[in-house]
Each structure stands twice: as structure tokens, then as C-alpha cells.
Structure 1
Amino acid sequence: MTLRTVQTANYYGIRPDDLYLFNEGTLYHSYRTFGAHRLQWDGTEGVRFAVWAPNASDVRVAGSFNHWDGSGHRMERLGESGVWALFIPGLAEGALYKYEICDADGRKRLKADPYAFFAERRPGTASIVADLSGYRWRDGAWQRRKRERLPYDNPLLIYEAHLGSWRLAGKEQFRTYGELSAELADYAADMGYTHIELLPLAEHPFDRSWGYQITGYFAATSRYGTPKELMAFVDRCHRRGLGVILDWVPGHFCKDDHGLRLFDGTPIYEGPDPRLAEKPEWGTLAFDFGRTEVMSFLISNAIFWMDLYHIDGLRVDAVASMIDLNFGKPPELAAHNAHGGTENPEALRFLRKLNEIVFHYHPHALMIAEDSSAWPAVTSPTYWGGLGFNFKWNMGWMNDMLRYMALDPDERKHHHHLITFSLLYAFSENFVLPLSHDEVVHGKRSLLHKMPGSYEEKFAQLRLFFGYWMTHPGKKLLFMGSEFGQFDEWKDTEALDWFLLDYELHAKMKLYSRKLNRLYKERPALWEKDTDPGGFEWIDAHNAGQSVISFVRRGNRHGDCVVAVCNFPVRRIGITGSAFPPPAATGSLSIATTGASAALRP
């Protein structure tokens, strides 16, 4: 077989400079070059394909248009870049395709396009030619407002949702992006949230991975509709005053044969060393963060979701597993860096560069690290030696508080440190306080079910917990269903138990959550100084015997403060702007300001 190599100044719009930057790791909009792009060349309309397969002996395009026989559509290698390209005239949007890749030994494998913009609905695995241009955005007011408001000193109250189980039309009958545009966006806005965070929407083969094991990083999953229907969903959220955050998974990818694994017969995305590549805890493969082309791929993907889908931010999954070479690995896969440590210097460089580039192109984006490690300065700028995120999940607070709230109230006096320890480090990073999907699945029970006591007492405990959560320094995130007291843990193949709202305590729990959300947004003292130690002061942190704590939250204006009193054994919380309120009803939340008072009593 003769290897055909093209030396050309411009191959159907692919410039040598693009290839150079891609190989260098700095082509931050590589999705404009790679994948399947409909275009007109010399008066002929068709589709240009481009793929990186540096160690292949031959690459072809096979699809629905050639009976899945790529022999008539051989791609041409562009110099020494490792990139292959082909222009197929007359090909239309909607065509199914894969790359037929021959490795160095002549063995063929069919691979989905890493840069495909759309893909078949599972169990199909083909890529689909899709044009993402032409959607008319109507979110100008949202974009202007976002530029005017820094996230640090404004409310950030996130509703985390899994589109495949928020609501269902029937067994495995997903709501569409279009239906969710009205239902979910309107619900979250009415409840008072500021943002929706969506579990990953990049294409993935297995529903029960929840999107965390991906094959198509640039393809919005076809489970819920088309790419432009997803754009309409985001647009609707913005017009309802809601930001949209996407869970993003740069740490690892799934091993399915049609995906990135051994893409050209060699490990180009995962790297050659199995000690670094294998993620045995999840059965996946880690990206090779030291490879420059992988750097171009991943950073471009982050920019892609913000450029084309107007996504407002990314929650970067599993940062701890990226920066620790031995995270979740058995001894036989143990590895060390050149200095003998277990830190992954390539991953650290990637994360810093990722945040620098994202904020260069999208300075008002949210970049949130889901990081369970004690790595310092995660939310400090890279020029100060930090990782450059602007927020980090406070996993320590979450673990301590869930452990504390599960205790019998009579036992809490022996574990008082669990509710006070977080204030020793609350201002070391810009924190989000997460009550996420990970805490209500796999036998961990729902938030309501974690609470001790009788059925009625569980609700009182959850109201108390939510009140403390809302007044503690840090932004907020809550997983769907917890706002109305979902009793069973999250069932990822079924819809939330919305029927529970027919029962009084669950309906009142939803009302309480709604009022608490609105109270949070209306009281600047609860968010203006989330990252400033001057915004918090203990009144009494040491009343372990009675399991009572009290503290002050302060805003920017002189005299703007909220006093919180949490009475954990008797399940009461009171909040006041100037003085302590009278004894509250069990599980209630009260607030009083100068000259006025109000009470929330679900």
C-alpha cells in the first residue's frame, strides 16, 4: 500500500499554520479544522473531513453514502502533521460516517469521529454530519448582565440536574431538549435558582455512566434531541435568568472500541504507559496530558461548549484523579514523576493552561473544580502559582456535615467539631458547598433519608440542615429532588418521585426550599463576602453540650448583617438581622430586619 502525502499550502481551507498550532498544542479552536464540515470549494458543495491519526498507514471515510466501504474515499495525509483529510463533494447534512483506519500492520478498525458534532442514538455508534451554524440566539440581555456581575460577590445557587431522569415520558422515553426548555428552565427559575448544572451531555454509549464515560466530546448527546434543540434549551434558560453549567470530563474516557482508545492502532489519546493510562476504579483510560495534540483537543472542547452553545461555565470532574498519579490505583500500577513524587506535572500544566485560555476567550466564565484533594491554591490565579479555577467544591464541608446530620441528636455533642471545622479553611479557596448527585446514590440514601428520627423529624432535620447550608459562607449547589424531600435515593433510570408533592410534608418542603432560595438571593450579607473572612464572625462556636452554634454574616454595606442561630438537637434555626427572634417553630426559619419581620413556616 502506498502512503499518499499531500504538501499543500491550503487543503480545502486547512492551513499549514493550523496544523502547526495543533501539533504544538495551541490550536484552541481546533473544532473549526477537524471533524466533518460542510463547505463550498471552487463552486462545489460538499463535506471536508479531517482527523488526527499519526500512526495509521491509511485512513478512509466509510458511511451511509458508500455502503460502509471506504475504499473509494481514501483520505490524504497532510505532511508530517499526522492529520488526514478528504473533501467529498455532494455530501449532505445527516450523512452517517466513521473513519476506517488501517494500522501499521494493515488491520482495519472503524472509529467514530473524535470531533463529530452529532452522533447516532445508542446503540448506534456512527457519527453524523451536522451543521451547527445558523441558530439565532436571543440571550443578549443575559450576556450583558453576566459581564456586569462578578460571580464572587453575587448569589450563586445551582440546581444540579440529570436530564435523563429529571422527568420521563415513559420507560426509557426521555424528555426532549425542547420539552425541557419549558419544564426544567421554568421550574428552576420559579424555585429561585441562579444556575442549572447539567450532568455531562457529550455523547456516551452507556446511560448508566450518566455521561461521565464519553466517546464523542464535541457531540451533544442525541438522547434528548438535536444540537440546535440544545442551543434553544440554553437560550431559554438565559432568557429566564438562569446560567447553564456543564459537567465536563477531561480526566478520562471510556474504552469502547469505536471511541478514542487505540484510535489509530496505537495509544495516542491515552499514552503508552499503562500505569498512567489505566483508571481501574472506573474501567476507563486517562488522557495523556503531556501530548500536545491532546492539549489542543481538550482545551478546544472547553472553548467549543462556550462558543457554540453559550454554556456559562464548566464543572471540571475528578480533578484529584488527574493531579495524583496513583489516585484509586492498586500498588502494581503505582507510578512516580521525575522527582519521585506522585503529582502529575503534565496534568497540572494542562489545568493551568486550560483556565488561562478559557478566561482569555470567556473572561466571565465559571470554571469550577470538583476536587477532593488538599492541593493548595486551586482557585488562585496561575500567575500566583495557582491552578486558575474561580471556584472549587468544598468536599470537606459536605462530608463533615452529612456525617454530622446522620448522627442521633443526642450524639452530636460528641462530634461538635464537624460543624465548626470548616470555618478554619472556609476562605482559603473560593468554595461552592455541594450537596450533589454523588451523595444520594449507590446506597448512600437521599438527603431526607439520611436524617435521624421519625418521618416528621427527618423533615425538621433537613430544613435545619438547609438553613445552616444557606447561611454558611460559600456558594450553593443542590441535586434535583432534594428540594422537595425525595425519600428514595436517586434512581438514574427512573424519574424523580414527583408524586410525593401530593403529600403535605413534601409539598411544604418544596415551599420551604423555594422561600429559602429567595431569602438567600434577597440578603446580600449571605453572599457578598463569601470569599472574605470579614464577612463572617462567630458569636458562639463552643456550645457543644447543647449543640448550638451562632454566627454573623456581613455584607458590604455598613450594618447589613444576618445573625444565624442553629439549634441542632431541638431541630431549630433562627436568622435575624438585628436581634435574636423568639423561639421558632420546629424546623422553621425566621428572619427579622430593622422595622420589619417575616417568617417562613412550611
Structure 2
Amino acid sequence: MAKKASSKEPATFSLLTDFDIHLFKSGKHYRLYEKLGSHVITAGGKKGVYFAVWAPNAKAVSVIGNFNSWNNAEHKLNPRWDESGIWEAFFPGLGKGEIYKYAIHSNTGDYLEKADPFAMYAEVAPKTASIVWETNYKWKDANWLKERKNSIGKPKPYSVYEIHFGSWRRKVEEGNRSLTYLEMASELVDYIKETGFTHVEFLPVMEHPFFGSWGYQVTGYFAPSSRYGSPEEFMQLVDALHEAEIGVILDWVPSHFPGDDHGLYRFDGTHLYEHADPRKGFHPDWKSYIFNYGRKEVKSFLISNAVYWIDKYHIDGLRVDAVASMLYLDYSRKAGEWEPNQYGGRENLESIEFLKELNEVVYGDFPDAITIAEESTAWPGVSRPTYLGGLGFGQKWMMGWMHDTLHFFQEDSINRKYHMNEITFSIMYAFTENFMLPLSHDEVVHGKGPIIGRMTGDEWRRFANLRLLYTYMYTHPGTKLLFMGCEFAQTSEWKHDLSLDWHLLQYDLHKGILNLFKDLNALYKAEPALYQFGFEARGFEWIDYSDRENSVMVYLRKAEAKEDQLLVVCNFTPEVRQHYRIGVGIRGYWKEIFNSDNVRYGGSGLLNQGQIATSPVKYHGRDYSISLSLPPLGISVFKLEKEVGEFELGS
């Protein structure tokens, strides 16, 4: 701890200029973390800490902590003269590591002790104070950032491994504790390199008091959770991932926050950050509070927070949680529990403008980063630029694909011929947005069970169906996201306070699913047809979606180069189909490059070996065709190995 402050009286000093105040009050200050909060600085030849906090309805504010025995009569802040509502002071003698809160006497008569909304570090829960901090981390990811910048606008494979930090792996022998940032910098990095995912996505790592919220009830928006280590140690984890050429996405929650006494709720005794009208300011599903997106200062706070993680922590992207709840005034509300907008509609106009500005700022400052919307409705243009009327996100979760696909796989194979529209329908709208295909944490909680539990049949069929599902996901247009544990067929529902069931990897079927993912990620990276036009109709072509009786569908994935196109054949039944004819438009030799029934994955090993020559038999409206063996509950992927002329074949 820093030594006791030499003076309880604030020195005259401010980090805020008149222009800062203008930007803040107009909702346009996007680097507010450089001004508000606590900052270790030298002023007047003395080293100390400058504090600044927004509390416009306070009549007195002071800093309390161990350094003054939590006495609110000392270390008082001064209100600024410009009616910004900001209180500030510089105290020489204080330094990094001081534990503190703001003591706020409100005009409402309340006395509140609040954590710093801009604190970069916090005490380990259940303690709730902020910690004065400064980071001097020396980054080593210059090559990663350079490549990220150089790849702007270029198509690339994007497979995301979604992780809840506290339950990926736990040290059972040490009281079932979670891994630290530094332990993850070794173990997680090695695992992602082994499995081949291109990115990791962390469920919210921002400070949250209740571990059971999975991080979605945030109180410290600018602080990585101290449960796992210091801010520098989290930076080291990001750095290690980048050095291993693995991108990092953070789950970000601008939709709501909890009502904990030390948090943002009624911060200065009034509804400062949240909307005062409970029809707009209280979330009935999560019993939490909704930001007032129409308040300029709140907008500066939130957009600054998004920028902060990309700027200071080199984060590659933000997955924005619960966007649908932000777009609609009647979201999860009954009649009479919401108020229409000025035009009589249900759209939340203030939130819409906030989301647009958020994306404009992020992409304006960091065009090589990405924002991803979790949006579960048919709102148009979520991932379209704002200048075209969209919300401006880079990608959107394809929730319809997820629901339809999981429902289809829950059907017994004998009935699937009656449900083929569920598995083909997604292509009807697949290119209306930049879609990411998610099998996320939401699909393995609240009694839904694990993904393998949704598969039908005996053990062999369930694992075959799972291999089929995952291979279909990787050959379908769009980027990919998978929640931890699904990559080795976790058999129990996810529990946030337990480790994943890593012991399952001693069994061949589970090991086979992990091998499948290693090879799927390798295939995805190696074949341009799987990602080059992942958001465009020209990257996909149906060959046949009408064979409902056999529950078979066939399609092409296409790239710029004709020779890179892939033929994908899906058999959604356990029946082996020999001599199954498929029309192709190119005369030559095809080779099977992937088969989900491979024994390496736990399958029966029904493969199409060697070169498969086309025949001059017209089929599926094409001039040539090939005859294949379709594995049970399997997907085969073929690539044109050699295109030949009219007289070359068989000569």
C-alpha cells in the first residue's frame, strides 16, 4: 500500500479541459477513461492520485479508503464550476494500490458509498472497493496487430471457442479454484493451438460481484475481474493468445447492470445511469437496470468502455449481449408495462441511435476490430453499415439456424424426411446478414442439457448425429461459434462452479469428437470455399434439396477459383446409401477430403477412397455425375482433383 497521504486538502489540478467537458456533455467523449476515475500522476512536482467522478446530484463527495481510515470528512472532492456534475481533486502522497470508494452525500438525503465506475481494478469479491491502478505492460503482439490491420476487408476463417473463464478448468486439488490469467496464458493457449480455433470469446471478464451471473451482471466495466489476477496478467493472457495467432473477443454487456449498493444503480441518489421510468429502466427478466441511452453522459460512458477494451487491452472484437432487449420497448413486457415511442411504435429509438454510434466509433477508430450482435429477432440490417440504414455491426448471431438445426436433430431419423425444410430453410435468409452460427452457452443450461443430449438414438447414433451436426455447421455459410465442452461431447449440463468433464477424453468416442474438431478447423482454414464468400450467395449453390425420402441434401461451397469448390453430401439417416448418384457440372476426378464417418472420429469408416471419375450421365440438371457411397448419419466433402477435357477421361 502507498504511504499515508501528506495532505487531506485537495490541490488545485484537473485533467479535464473545457473541450473534454463539452464532449462529455454532448455524448461524444470516447476516451473518458483517460479523464475520469483515479489516475496516478505528478502535479506541482508531487506524485499523487487525481480522482474525478460524475455525480451531479451530490451535495458533497469525498474519497474514503484505508489511507484515511474510511473517514468521509477527509479527502473531499471539489465540484467543477461548469455544471458538468463532475467532482475532482488531486491528493499528493497517494499511489497505486490504494483501496477506495466514493462517499456521496446526495441532494436526496441519501448517503452512499460507491465503487468507482471507471476503476481499472477492484477488490476480489465479495469485497467491493476499487483499487487505484496504473498499467505499464510491454506488449509483444506487434506482429499480430500489424497482420490484423493488413487483413481489413479480406475474407478469413472465423471459428470461435466460447469460454466461461471460471469453469473451463479448475484446480480440484486446490479447493476447486479457477485457473488464473497466467495459468490460462499457458494451458488455454496450448489447447486452442491444438484444436485449431481462430478466436476465443470470453464470457464477460469485467468485474461482477455475483459469480453465478456468469459475468453478465457487471459493476466494474473497466476492470478485468480480480478473481483471476491483475490487469497486467490479463494483458499477458491476451498477449500470449495473440503471439499464438489466436484472436480475442470479449462478451460486452451494455444492455443492463445489477442493483448492488456499490454499483451504478442510483449512483448519486438519483437514477443517473439507468432510466428513471421503470418501463424503460428496469429489466423484468434479469431483475436489473437498463441504461438511459438518451442521456449524453451515459452514452459517453458506454462507448468509452467499448473503446477502452480495444485500445488498452488490444481486444480484437466485442460480442454485444442481448441486443434484442435493447431494440424493443416491449421486450419481455406485457401490455401496459411499456410506453410506445414518439411515433407510436415499439422500437427504442434512443437505443438504436446509441448502437449505431457505438459501431461508427469502434470501426472509425479500429477498422480492424469487429462487433458481433447477439440479436434474436428479424430486425433488418443488424450487420449492415449505418450509412445504408443498418445498425453497423460486423456480424450477427444466426439464432434461427441454431433453433431449427437443434430441433431437426432431436427428431428420430425415421421422421426427418418430414422435417427437411427445417434444415434447408436457413439458406433462404443466410445472406441477408453477416451471420455467425452459434452453439453457445445458452444451449447447455437451464435444463436444456448438453448438445449430445439433444441427439437421438443409441450411443453410436448419438455420436454419429453429433459428428453430422458439427460437420454440417462447418460446411454451412457463415462463421462459427462453439461453447467449451461441446468440442469433446460433454455429457452433463454446464455448471459455472465446476470444471468441464475433461476425464471424458479417456473414452474413444469423446476423443473422436475432439479429433473431428481439430480436422474441421484445419479444413476450414485450408479451403477458401468455406470462408471466402461466407456471407454471399455466390459462395453457395444447391445441387439437390428435394430428396426428402432419403433425407439427403447436396450442395456446393464455392470460392473465387473454380478448382477450389467443394461438394458437400449430407445423409441424415443411419442407412448406408450405395451408388448414390449426384450431378456435377465439371468433367474430371473428384476426391473425398473429409468424411465425418472416419474411424478417427469414432465412425464406422465408410469412406470413398481414391479418385472418383465423372460419368457422362446427366443428373440434377448437370452434364456429368458421380456415384458415391453415403456413410450412415454422415457428411462427405469432395474436391475436384483434376478437371479434364472431353477426350482425356479414361484414356
TM-score range, shorter chain: over 0.9
The alignment partner of 1:244 has SS state of strand
2:295 matches 1:291: yes
For structure 1, the 5+ residue unaligned runs are 1-7, 597-602
Q: CA deviation at 1:64?
A: 1.1
Distance 1:182 1:400 in 2: 37
Paired letter, 2:451: L
Distance 2:88 2:556 in 1: 63
Counterpart contact for 2:152–2:367, Cα < 8 Å: no
2:101 matches 1:98: yes
Q: 1:571 to 1:436 in 2, by over 3 A?
A: farther
Distance 1:172 1:326 in 2: 42
2:169 matches 1:123: no
Q: Which moved more, 1:562-571 or 1:172-181?
A: 562-571
Match of 1:264 in 2: 268
Question: Paired residue for 2:26, among 13, 24, 30?
Answer: 24
Mapping 1:165-176, distance limit 5 Å:
165-170=167-172, 171-176=175-180
Match of 1:213 in 2: 217
2:413 matches 1:409: yes
Q: CA deviation at 1:11?
A: 3.3
Mapping 1:446-461, distance limit 5 Å:
446-461=450-465
Q: Which moved more, 1:152-161 or 1:36-45?
A: 152-161
Paired letter, 1:556: E
Counterpart contact for 2:568–2:635, Cα < 8 Å: no
Distance 1:444 1:393 in 2: 19
Distance 1:43 1:327 in 2: 54
Deviation by residue 1:275-301 (Cα, 9 ceiling, x = unmatched): 100101011111000000000000000
The alignment partner of 1:70 has SS state of coil
Match of 2:629 in 1: 583
Deviation by residue 1:251-283 (Cα, 9 ceiling, x = unmatched): 100111110000000001002111100101011
Distance 2:14 2:541 in 1: 63
Distance 2:80 2:14 in 1: 11
2:353 matches 1:349: yes
Question: Paired residue for 1:375, among 355, 379, 388?
Answer: 379
Q: CA deviation at 1:13?
A: 2.4
Paired letter, 2:239: D
Identical positions, percent: 47
Paired letter, 2:377: S
The alignment partner of 2:629 has SS state of coil
Match of 1:319 in 2: 323
Q: CA deviation at 1:592?
A: 4.1
Q: 1:131 to 1:581 in 2, by over 3 A?
A: farther
Match of 1:50 in 2: 52
Match of 1:566 in 2: 570
C-alpha RMSD of the superposition: 1.8
Match of 2:604 in 1: none
Q: CA deviation at 1:533?
A: 0.7
Larger Rg: 2
Paired letter, 1:157: S
Deviation by residue 1:224-271 (Cα, 9 ceiling, x = unmatched): 100000000000000001000000000100111110000000001002
Distance 2:333 2:124 in 1: 33
Q: 1:260 to 1:167 in 2, by over 3 A?
A: same
Q: CA deviation at 1:521?
A: 1.0
Match of 1:366 in 2: 370
Deviation by residue 1:334-380 (Cα, 9 ceiling, x = unmatched): 22101110100000000000000001110111110000011101111
Paired letter, 1:143: L
Q: CA deviation at 1:583?
A: 2.2
2:398 matches 1:394: yes
Paired letter, 2:340: H
Q: CA deviation at 1:308?
A: 0.6
The alignment partner of 1:137 has SS state of coil
Match of 1:593 in 2: 639
Match of 1:422 in 2: 426
Deviation by residue 1:478-518 (Cα, 9 ceiling, x = unmatched): 01110111011111110000000011111111111111111
Q: CA deviation at 1:15?
A: 1.3
Distance 2:574 2:153 in 1: 35
Match of 1:145 in 2: 147
Q: Which moved more, 1:40-49 or 1:556-565?
A: 556-565
Distance 2:312 2:361 in 1: 16
Match of 1:528 in 2: 532
Counterpart contact for 1:152–1:531, Cα < 8 Å: no
Counterpart contact for 1:202–1:216, Cα < 8 Å: yes
Mapping 1:149-164, distance limit 5 Å:
149-150=151-152, 153-164=155-166
Q: CA deviation at 1:571?
A: 7.4
Distance 2:641 2:392 in 1: 44
2:241 matches 1:195: no
Mapping 1:202-281, distance limit 5 Å:
202-281=206-285
Q: CA deviation at 1:587?
A: 5.1
Match of 1:477 in 2: 481
Q: CA deviation at 1:456?
A: 1.6
Distance 2:17 2:411 in 1: 63
Counterpart contact for 1:12–1:41, Cα < 8 Å: no
For structure 2, the 5+ residue unaligned runs are 1-10, 581-590, 594-611, 615-625, 643-651
Deviation by residue 1:53-95 (Cα, 9 ceiling, x = unmatched): 0111111111111111121111100121100001111112111
2:591 matches 1:545: no
2:444 matches 1:440: yes
The alignment partner of 1:155 has SS state of coil
The alignment partner of 1:72 has SS state of coil
Question: Paired residue for 1:39, among 41, 50, 54?
Answer: 41
Counterpart contact for 1:118–1:222, Cα < 8 Å: yes
Paired letter, 2:111: K
Distance 2:429 2:629 in 1: 31
Q: 1:105 to 1:388 in 2, by over 3 A?
A: closer
Matched residues, number:
588
Counterpart contact for 2:472–2:635, Cα < 8 Å: no
Counterpart contact for 1:473–1:530, Cα < 8 Å: yes
